[in-house]
Amino acid sequence: MLLYNSPISGNCYKVRLLLAHLGIPYERRELDVVDRSNRTEVLGDLNPDLRVPTLVLDDGRPIAESGAILWYFGEGTRFVPDDRYDRAKVLQWMFFEQYSHEPAIAVVRFLVAYSGEADRYASVIERKTKDGYRALDALERHLAATDGFVVGRATTLADIALYAYTHVAHEGGFDLSGYPAIGSWLDRVAAEPGHVSIEA
């Protein structure tokens, strides 16, 4: 099994984190997230959207989109609840992450810490920082009223999906000191047996 990967991408980290928890071995091929000039050549036949993560199964069939890869491997494990409503809530938070959280927090982090062009993108960073705090507000409100995890009383794909960019939000300049429920949830996810860091 082959993961087209970027070491700094939180979307790729989600996949690496779940596969580590599940003990599933795979190979990595690293793609550059700044210089994307070889994307069509490398991913053209595997992922029409030309993004990482893209995973290729042993039989050659590809899966793209971090949320879909998580679901493929998570189904039937403790990371996807047996209850139909809880499953829908896991997907609710995974879609929230991709629609409202990642496009703000991940993009600000990338522009500030990895693009080398933070000055050029100052107005984008300012606008998306506001959007990012709005997403963090929503997550804080939710976590303050739950049993310690995003859905239910144990880690699910929703925690893995939201942990990835939340735990490195500070690299984009986000100050999480006003988000106590998020802070203790981050500690809880990182303390899980089998957890690996984004550098692993």
Q: What residues make contact with a second copy under the rule CB under 8 A?
A: 48-50, 57, 61, 63-69, 71-72, 75, 84-85, 87-89, 91-92, 94-96, 98-100, 102-103, 135, 138-139, 141-142
Angle, vertex CA 140, rays to CA 139 and CA 145, nearest 5: 100
Kindly tell me the sign of the dihedral angle through the C-alpha atoms of 150, 156, 157, 163: positive
CB of residue 199 to a second copy, shortest distance in Å: 25
Considering the complex, state which of residue 38 and residue 197 has its C-beta at the smaller distance from a second copy.
38
Cα three-residue angle 104-187-153, rounded to 5 degrees: 95
CB burial of residue 52 (10 Å; 0-12, 13-18, 19+): buried
Q: Which of 89, 195 has the CB closer to a second copy?
A: 89
For residue 123 the two structure tokens come to 């107005």
Comparing CB distances to a second copy, the nearer of 53 and 172 is 53
Q: Which two tokens stand for residue 70?
A: 């998580």
The span from the first CA to the last CA of the chain, in angstroms, equals: 18
Nearer Cβ to a second copy (80/198):
80
In the bound complex, what is the minimum distance in angstroms from residue 193's beta carbon to a second copy?
26
- Our CB check for a second copy shows the closer of 103 and 148 to be 103
- How far is it, in rounded angstroms, from Cα 172 to Cα 42? 29
Q: In what order do the strands lie in the sheet with 62-64?
A: 27-30, 2-5, 54-56, 62-64
Angle, helices 102-109 vs 157-166, to 10°: value is 40
CB of 28 to a second copy, least distance (A): 20
Min dist CB 87 to a second copy, Å, is 7
Question: How near is the Cβ of 146 to a second copy at its closest, in Å?
Answer: 11
Return the number of the residue (134 or 200) whose C-beta is nearest a second copy.
Answer: 134
Minimal distance in Å, beta carbon 29 to a second copy?
19
